[in-house]
A = this chain, B = another copy of it.
Amino acid sequence: MDLEAHLRDFTRRDWEQPVDGGPVRVAMVGLGWWTRERAVPAVIASDYCETTTLVSRSKEKATEATDLADTVEHGLSVEEFEAGHAADAYDAVYVCTPNATHLEHVETAAEQGKAVLCEKPMEATVERARELVDAASDVPAMVAYRMQTEPAVRRAKELIEAGLIGDPVHVHGHMSQRFPQMFTDYDHWRYHPELAGRGTTITDIGVYPLNTIRFLIESDPVSVQGVTISNHEAFSEVPDEHTSFTMRFPEDVVATCTASQNAYHSSHLKVTGTEGEVTMEPAFFDRQPRGLTVSVGETTVDHDFERVNQMREEFDYFGNCLLSERDPYPDAAHGLVDVEVMDAIYDAAAAGEAVSL
């Protein structure tokens, strides 16, 4: 493999296919900061999608938000969305609500025959995630793992698949941020298990290394170990202000990850193989620079590249798939595995024992 040639045209959209028609008209459900500040602007910039409908628990919030993009025609309450108001105005539904409420919105979208793009983690419990898989079985349904359409991750995956680093042996992953400084109101749903799931850090950010590692090595864990620690008052209801977890894969790859909702803003991912190493650092935050370093033998290449808008890539991939009549990936069955693995990590941490999957 010619590494330099491979890294040229770094942000190429290997997934892009010719399409007829479009754009895909999107309804966004949940108008928190991520939808308003990340998803809506990404779709404004996108080639294959446009936002026509915004849905919120609060009709007032939905109506006000229609100013966010020129293409938005409808601001609906959840009740109106469920009753099918303006259902002709959208082809797909983006679900970006608290984890434990994804299922009902996916059910509504699927009943209306709409394609689904559901934020990660797919749901708050394994049971509800399984119900979501069933609910979405007749429509194209994708889980919004934006790292899977991040060019640095795709180029790294191609390098690994081509055997450049030999057989993967170890993976290190990390993601941390200072959530209590970002969300000073501790009523925020991510601090509370009713809406967040069994914890907050594994479900919100630990899932980045977890899912990205699964994607990079195309394998799912067979056993996990974990440590969870909560000390700060904001995390009194969840076990995982800080967490560490180790995943063993059937090919005997071992991945060891840490995540914290209350540590310095930082992320990295490193895959060490028998013949070389691929490092992404920073790795996961959408508006940070990202770095890709590849080492093979005596050679190390620090690759600088143009940063993409990850959310735009994700929506464009989703839209391109729908318009070219392909099922988008990662699908709900893929997302379910993450929920099952996270559940096993919480079990493992609570018991101090390895848990098999």
Contact = CB atoms under 8 A, between A and B. Distances in A.
A321 to B, nearest CB: 36
A50 to B, nearest CB: 35
A352 interface: yes
B176 A169 contact: yes
Interface stretch (A19-27, A109-117, A123-131, A263-271): A263-271
A198 interface: no
A170 interface: yes
B174 A172 contact: yes
Contacts of A275: 264
A206 B79 CA distance: 57
A332 B125 CA distance: 50
B242 A254 contact: yes
Interface stretch (A70-78, A183-191, A224-232, A339-347): A224-232
A276 B176 CA distance: 11
Nearest to A273: B264
B264 A244 contact: no
Interface string A312-323: 000000000000
A132 interface: no
Contacts of A272: 174, 176, 258, 260, 263-264, 266
Contacts of A219: none
Interface in A156-183: 165-166, 169-170, 172, 174, 176, 178
Interface string A274-294: 111100000000000000000
A165 to B, nearest CB: 7
Contacts of A246: 225, 227, 244, 246, 256
A227 B229 contact: no
Contact of A277 (B169, B266, B276, B354): B266
Interface in A230-250: 231, 242, 244, 246, 248
A101 interface: no
Contact of A266 (B178, B229, B242, B295): B295
Contacts of A166: 264
Contacts of A16: none
Interface of A: 165-166, 169-170, 172, 174, 176, 178, 223, 225, 227, 229, 231, 242, 244, 246, 248, 252, 254, 256-258, 260, 262-264, 266, 268, 270, 272-277, 295, 352-354
Smallest CB-CB A-B distances: 5 pairs = A352-B354, A169-B263, A170-B258, A256-B256, A244-B254
